[in-house]
Structure 1
Amino acid sequence: MRKKRPPDVDIETVRARAQRAISPLKAADASTCAPKGFLFNAKRTDAGRTLPPYYLVYFLLVDLLGFKNLGQFEKVAWSVPVEYDGQPFLVEHRKFGLGVFAANVPEDEAAATEIVRLIHKATKAAQPYFDWRAEQAAKASKLNVVNRSPELFERLNFYLDLYDDRQREADARKAEKVVTDLSKMSYTIAFPSAELYREAKWLGLSAIECFFSWTEHVFIHIAILRGSCATGEDVAKLAKAEWSEKFKAALDIADPTTKRFYDQLAIVRRQLRNFVAHGAFGKDGEAFHFHSTAGAVPMLLPHRRDRSALKFGQGVDFVAAEAIALIRDFIDHLWSGPREPAKIHIQDYGLPLNLTKVVNGDYARAMASVEAMESYADYQAHLNDRYANMDF
């Protein structure tokens, strides 16, 4: 069934509804009486700590209702003077968070509590405007894309290290056996390496899962730096696409080495990751054995191309060592050649991606060389630190 298109938002209707909800709170004007030095001496109220997210409050007061924003100054991102019950207050986004600031604290706490209540009420009334605002932003390029690549890669390395540790210990104890006497007539023999190899296999499978999770994310960021995604809609479309499409958006499979990695990783994804993700049944009957006079015989349906045919096989035998070696080789390949500058921005600095910089050519210039990207990423990290500290 086709999803119905949401009705167009009548901004004026939403504005009128939000204005009624926020009343009697209003924007401060020339008639508002404030004590001397109020803008610099106002103190944070406890009530202001429970305001909605800063961006909703800003969009409500400044964008929708037209309250005046005094702008940026030291440790303040924006400041909106308001009046309630004849008293002046500030709704400000400062370094330590959004808040309501008053001249007399704690005497003004009751009024600040009511201001917060009215802002919450108006924010709820303005929800259609926020949704419309986000929808319009998604169609444009004035967007940042969150970068979680460093933490996802760290999780991958965590499991790879554990896998390596188990493999090394299993290899070192391969000849070891533990004999336990149960009685004079019986005993058991255990080989510690067998259990260690089994744990290594589990850790290897976890590492493979982490690898595909990381690549699903990092491919989109590489595609942005390459200029393949320039709007929010482009990114959203790619995010919903199959892993193979993300791979092709980030890397050129016309390159023989890249194509070889693509083909081999597709096999790993199909035979290992998809098998585990579908309850160890896989998608093509990997869990079946058919009856014969020779006993139970593994039966594996070939992937996709001829789903009606059956073939003999061992189902999906997890050969973790080869898969782990493959993904390690691919990681080296991923950050080589024309993609080497991308590693600096995405993995080393962990910077978010700004789609505006795709449009204005900043990323294209930075991707020209490692030196250009190092200079660019260092400058962007400096700007981010300044904005995080509100050093305006």
Structure 2
Amino acid sequence: MRNDLPPELEKVREKAWRAIGPVKPVDDATQAEQQFLFNAKRTNAGRKLPPQHLVYLALVELLGFRDLGRFEKLAWSIPVDFNGCAFLIEHRKFGVGVFAADPEKEEGDARTIVTHVHKLVKAAKPFFDWLAAKAVEDSAVNVTNKSASLFDRLEFLRASYRAKADQAIAQKDERSVTEGINSSGGSWQSISYPAYRLKAEARWLGLSAIEAFFSWTEHVLIHVGILRGTLITADAVAQSAEADWPTKFKLVFDLADPHSKALYDDLLIVRKELRNFVAHGSFGKQGEAFDFHSSAGPVPVLLPDRLGGRGFAFGQISSFEIENSLVTIDRFIAHLWDGPRAPAKIYVQDYELPLIMTMARDGSYAKAMASIEEMTVFAGYLAGEMDNAANMDW
């Protein structure tokens, strides 16, 4: 049981005890068969318990129920007393549940236990919020890593774009002719060119690929920043997650390096002229939303640039090649995983491991980032430990 609760949470603990009602810790008067701990079976009612971590934190951390500890395929086991009889609330490999000596006879009691646990979890919400805030304050957190999944999306869209563009080229000379008779008895003919539609579809896929690239980099740059020691606290990670893309880029790259600076400038052009065109309503690649009337016909007008201080301005539409943008993206990816950043790829992309902030502070990541060999051993060991934990192979 936590003894470091602030005074205002003591009332939450009192409310939690009222919520748990007749469910209490076992004592010498609790009735249980001799082999109850090993023979107890899952009840159907127990399948409707709240998520396992909420159950454990409320019962053990807040109220002080006893956890009997780990066993094979068992993460934790909490014996409880309900009307003088013993039950187990356990997190086994196939989920959290309520376990009884005779589930058929005790199903009703198990259902009542589940109802009170739900009331307990609801009453304990301020305690959960306090625990979360304290963990973030102490940087005792893991940062979720979805880098490999986001990169897979980018690769899929990029490959789909190129396949569609190749198809458009292969069918550039094809045409489809449709003929018929109209209501007046006259004949009509319609000619279409499949390549036009294929080009449009290729462009949509290309735009989506570029969107996917920036989504991936918004995520992966923070993770590489943690591994390289630029971010070592949960608060710094939270602030960086809310920062703009240029700020995230600078977590990983030194703009004094000419290659990094050139890529940075090129990607900013891609982001402004193409990505923002899609993200902000597709008015125009450069912000043109109006055509003003003139003796020469319609002339594009650029929308105001809030960052640059530009008002409405005379515009000129320029072409922007998706393929060039994707080539720039390929150059960036190669540069990201080059040199001192190469070990990060093993951890972030190949294994897609969560970033553990305590390891950022204690030097574990700094040691692993020393070489590809160090990171390979480190990431492999960590992945193995996580697999064992997931399988409850203690």
Superposition TM-score, scaled by structure 2 size: 0.93
When structure 1 is superposed on structure 2, of 222-231 and 368-377 the one drifting more is 222-231
- Alignment partner, residue 251 of structure 2: 249
Q: In structure 1, what is the Cα distance between the partners aligned to 2:159 and 2:254?
A: 30
SS of equivalent to 1:10: helix
SS in 1 for 2:326: helix
Question: Residue 202 of structure 1 is aligned with which of 201, 204, 208?
Answer: 204
Q: Describe the SS at the equivalent of 1:287.
A: strand
- Do residues 307 (structure 1) and 310 (structure 2) align? yes
Map Cα deviations across residues 126-146 of structure 1 (whole Å, 9 max, x no partner): 111111111111112221111
1:139 aligns with 137
Amino acid in structure 1 at the alignment position of 2:313 = L
Determine the structure 1 residue equivalent to 2:163. 165
Q: Which residue of 2 aligns with 1:276?
A: 278
Q: Is 1:58–2:60 an aligned residue pair?
A: no
Shift of 1:231: 2.4
Identity %: 53
Equivalents in 2 of 1:132, 1:345: separation in Å? 31
Contact kept, 8 Å, 1:173 with 1:193, in 2: the verdict is yes
Whichever residue aligns with residue 330 of structure 1, its letter is: F
CA contact (8 A) 2:302 2:312 kept: no
Matching residue of 1:375: 377
Instruction: Say if 1:14 and 1:282 are closer, same or farther in 2 by CA, change over 3 A.
Output: farther
Residue type at the aligned position of 1:91? I
Q: Distance in 1 between matches of 2:358 and 2:391?
A: 23
Superimposed CA distance per residue, residues 293-320 of structure 1 (whole angstroms, 9 cap, x where no aligned partner): 11111223575324126243116x4521
Taking the TM superposition and a 5 Å limit, the aligned residue runs for 1:89-168 are 89-168=87-166
CA shift for structure 1 position 55? 0.9
Q: Distance in 1 between matches of 2:71 and 2:7?
A: 34
Q: Per the alignment, in what secondary structure is the counterpart of residue 147 of structure 1?
A: coil
Letter in 1 for 2:353: L
* Inter-partner Cα distance in structure 1 for 2:267 and 2:12: 51
Q: Which amino acid aligns with 2:358?
A: T
Q: What secondary structure sits across from 2:79 in the alignment?
A: strand
* Distance in 1 between residues matched to 2:162 and 2:78, nearest whole Å: 56
Q: Which residue number in structure 2 is paired with residue 332 of structure 1?
A: 334
Secondary structure of 2:138's counterpart equals coil
Task: State the Cα deviation string for residues 240-296 of structure 1 (Å, max 9, x = none).
Answer: 111111111122222111111111111111111112111113697422222211111
In the alignment, the residues of structure 2 paired with residue 182 and residue 112 of structure 1 have an alpha-carbon distance, to the nearest angstrom, of 73
Q: Return the letter of the residue paired with 2:339.
A: G
CA RMSD of aligned residues (A): 1.9
- Sort the Cα spacing of 1:331 and 1:241 in 2 relative to 1 into closer, same or farther, 3 A: same
SS in 1 for 2:256: coil
Instruction: Kindly indicate whether the alpha-carbon contact (under 8 Å) linking 1:299 and 1:314 is maintained by their aligned counterparts in 2.
Output: no
* Gap runs ≥5 in structure 1: 1-7
SS at match of 1:83: strand
The 5 Å alignment of 1:201-240 reads 201-240=203-242
- The corresponding residue for 2:3 is none
The question of whether the paired residues in 1 share the 8 Å contact of 2:273 and 2:285 is answered with: no
The count of residues paired between Structure 1 and Structure 2 equals: 384
Match of 1:290 among 275, 287, 292: 292
1:168 to partner: Cα distance: 0.9
Q: Determine which of 351, 359, 384 is the counterpart of 1:357.
A: 359
SS at match of 1:108: helix
Preserved contact between residue 288 and residue 315 of structure 2 (Cα < 8 Å): no
Q: How many Å apart are 1:237 and its aligned residue?
A: 1.1
1:179 Cα deviation after fit? 4.3
Q: Distance in 2 between matches of 1:83 and 1:115?
A: 10
Give me the TM-score of the superposition, normalised by structure 1: 0.93
For residues 176 and 89 of structure 2, what CA distance do their matches in structure 1 show?
71
When residues 39 and 390 of structure 1 are mapped into structure 2, their CA distance, relative to the original with a 3 A threshold, is same
- Indicate how the Cα distance of structure 1 residues 387 and 71 shifts in structure 2: closer, same or farther if over 3 A, else same: same
1:26-65 to 2 correspondences below 5 Å: 26-65=24-63
Q: CA deviation at 1:78?
A: 0.9
Alignment-derived partner of residue 4 in structure 1 = none
| Counterpart code for 1:92 | E
Alignment CA distance shift 1:286-1:142 (3 Å): same
